[in-house]
Each structure stands twice: as C-alpha cells, then as structure tokens.
Structure 1
Amino acid sequence: MFEFLFNQYKDYPTYEIVLEITAIIFGLLSVWYAKKDNIWVFPTGIINTAIYVYLLWKWTLLGDMMINFYYVVMSIYGWYHWTRKKDDVVEFPISRMNAYEKKVSVLIFVLTIVFVVAVYRFFGKFTHWTSYVDTLVTGIFFVGMWLMARRKIENWILWIIGDIISIPMYFVKGYSFTSIQYLIFTIIAIFGYLEWKKTLQQKIV
C-alpha cells in the first residue's frame, strides 16, 4: 500500500520531497488557524503557498502555481484586512456575503477561468483531463481565498468543494502527499464552516 501511494517519489530529489512536506505542514497549520479565526492563518499560509509556487513551477503545473501565487498576494491583503480595527473593535468580523460580494465573486470566477484557459492554451497544457479540472478548481479557490480574506463564512463552502475535487486530481497527477493534504483540508474545512457558523449565530443572538 505504501509503495502504491508513494512510488512516484522514488525519482524526486530529496529537497523537493522535504519542501513538499514542509509546505503541507504549514498548509495544515494555516487551515487550522482559519478554522479558529486566528490571524496566524496568513503568515503560515504565506509560507505554505510560497513553497508551492516554487514546486509547482518546477513541476510545470501552471494553474496550480497561479493559485498559490494569488494566495500569497491575498494572504497579505487578508492579513491587513483582519487586523483593521475601529475604536479597538474589529472592523471586519465574520459575516455573510452581501449582494455586491456575490457579484464580485462571480466576476472573479469567470475572469479566472478565462485567464487560466488562455495561459493553458498558450503553453499547450490542455493535454490531460486534469488540466480542465484544474481550471475549474482554480476559479473556485480564487473566489474562496478572496472571501476568506474578507472573513465571509461562504469561503468554507468553496474550500470544501475545491478540496474534494483536488483529492483525486493530485493523486492522479502523482502527488500523494498533497492529495492526502487536501483530504485533511476537507475535514478541517467542514469543521471550520461549522465553527464560523456557530460564531455568527452567537453574534446575531
């Protein structure tokens, strides 16, 4: 079983395996901190995504690389957004999407899909069904990250959908460690949604 899951790593440089495992550890920490509505979600997330930008560039997985580069940028934005206070009160607490944010979310999704398709066609990367799935997941995660940066509870729904799709996709691509990471992400994201929902209901009451 172990050989079946991790056989593809036998030809990988040791440093790439170490980097992937390091990125996974910080990725799990980031999602855990997000679940707890803790500001450490962003510094740990930046380390995770910065490592993946490098690894995915090495693996020529352009869509995935763009996702993670976007995560780095949005993590910086989210870090700033979450720390904003007015009279010692958090200016942007956990909340639900408004009409404007729903429109922006659709726009981000559509523009992301168009951009990724253009990049994939330019580099001739539509050679496997995973490329099409990757395009869809990129759109989902781009919106999810933007909503997380704005502390919207709906971000968890998008993470759950994207994570579930990513589990078999990364396994088929040959990255078992990352596939397992997304399985754990899915579990934490479900609990994250429930925890944020509880917090939101307490505020309403």
Structure 2
Amino acid sequence: MSPLEIAAVIVSALAVWTTTRRSLWCWPLGLASVALYGVVFLEAKLYSDMALQAVFGAFLLYGWVCWWRGVRDDGQVMVRPLSARDAILGLVAGGVASVALGLAMARWTDASLPYLDATLAGFSLVAQYWTARKHIANWWLWIAVDVVYVAMYMIKDLYLTAGLYAAFIVLAVLGLRSWRAGAEASPAVQPL
C-alpha cells in the first residue's frame, strides 16, 4: 500500500459518493481519481485497468457535460430509464470489448490476469457510459463489476483498493436507492 494508492482511494471514494448524491462534483473528483489510479495500475501491471483510466477520463468529461445540461432547478441531476434495446447493446459491447482487450493484453503485454482485467474494464466502460447518460441501471452493473474487482485486487495484493471496491458496492446500493427515489419523484421517469 503506497501513499499514491491511499490518495487514489480517498479521491475515488469521494467521487463515487458525490455520484450517489447526483452532484456535479463527482466529475472533477473522478478525473483526479483516474489520474491517480492510472499510475497505481501501471505499477501493478494491470494494463487494462491502466488504459481504462484514460478512457474513463474521456467518459468523465462527457458525463460532466451531459449532467450539466440535465440539472434541475433544485440542483439535482434528472435520471433516465434504460431501454431493453440499449441495455442489450451495452452488454454486447462490453462483451466484445472484453474479448478484444483480453486477447490483446494476453498477446502483447506481460499483463497480470489479462482476461479478467479486460472483462472488468469492458463492462466498467459500459457502466460508466450509463452513468454519464444518467441511467439508473448503471448501479446494477457497477455492483456486479465491483464484486469481481474486489477479488481481483485481493489476488494482486492491492488490499486497500479491494477495500475501496467493497465500499463501492455499498455506495452503488445507496446510489441505486437514491436515484430510484429521485426517479419516483419525477413523473417522467420510471426506475429500473
């Protein structure tokens, strides 16, 4: 456990907590988090996760813009339902990205756990996109992904990060509840 990992954990926890609160602060905190974790994952030879941080950076900028445009008068971000078609497309895209990235990492790098890391990266991208688009279903996917991340980080002796991802599971459940309550308060949105 390095000072860099400690800083990454703190900033990441704040970013996810502010996301559960539907606060625009989640985006700049998220950008700081991915910068820190990019270095942590480079040092751990989790290259898919390292590359994922760069892509997350782009998604975070995109999400910031999307959320900025969707703020209500009370300062809360309006949530949106996810259609079955978009859910299927997202999951298929996550699967394709997982296979492609896993094959690339196994063939061209000395990545530790290339297929598991790539699968988690692929589906994390889908969850992050759904978060940026304000879909409540993002929380269900984050819960599933984070459960597996906890195990992977334990295997890699990144115990503090494993603890963070265990906390992310709790935050994702809280986020799901909070976003559902927000959706129920808005007559145009049906929660998942």
Same-fold call, TM cutoff 0.5: yes
**Matches of 1:133 and 1:59 in 2, distance apart?**
14
| Matched residue SS, 1:204 | coil
Matching of residue 41 in structure 1 with residue 26 in structure 2: yes
- 2:97: which partner in 1? 112
| CA spacing shift, 1:42–1:86, aligned 2, 3 Å | closer
Identity of aligned residues (%): 25
Q: 1:20 to 1:117 in 2, by over 3 A?
A: same
Aligned match of 2:58 = 73
8 Å CA contact 2:103–2:115 kept in 1: the answer is no
Counterpart in 2 of 1:170?
A: 153
1:139 to 122, 129, 141: 122
Deviation at 1:139, TM superposition (A): 1.9
RMSD (Å), alpha carbons: 2.4
* Residues 1-205 of structure 1: pairs in structure 2 closer than 5 A: 9=1, 17-84=2-69, 93-125=78-110, 130-204=113-187
Where do 5+ consecutive residues of structure 1 fail to align?
Answer: 1-8, 10-16
Cα distance in structure 1, aligned partners of 2:54 and 2:123? 15
Q: Secondary structure at the match of 2:33?
A: helix
Change (3 A) 1:192 1:86: closer
TM-score normalised according to structure 2 size: 0.87
Contact 1:108-1:142 at 8 Å conserved across structures: no
Q: What residue ranges of structure 2 are gaps of 5+ in the alignment?
A: none
Q: 1:83 to 1:56 in 2, by over 3 A?
A: same
TM-superposed CA distance for 1:111, in Å, is 3.4
Describe the shift of the 1:86–1:168 C-alpha distance in structure 2 as closer, same or farther (beyond 3 A).
closer
Check conservation: 2:34, 2:56, Cα contact below 8 A. yes
**TM-score in terms of structure 1 length:** 0.82
Alignment length (residue pairs): 187
Q: Which has the larger radius of gyration?
A: 1
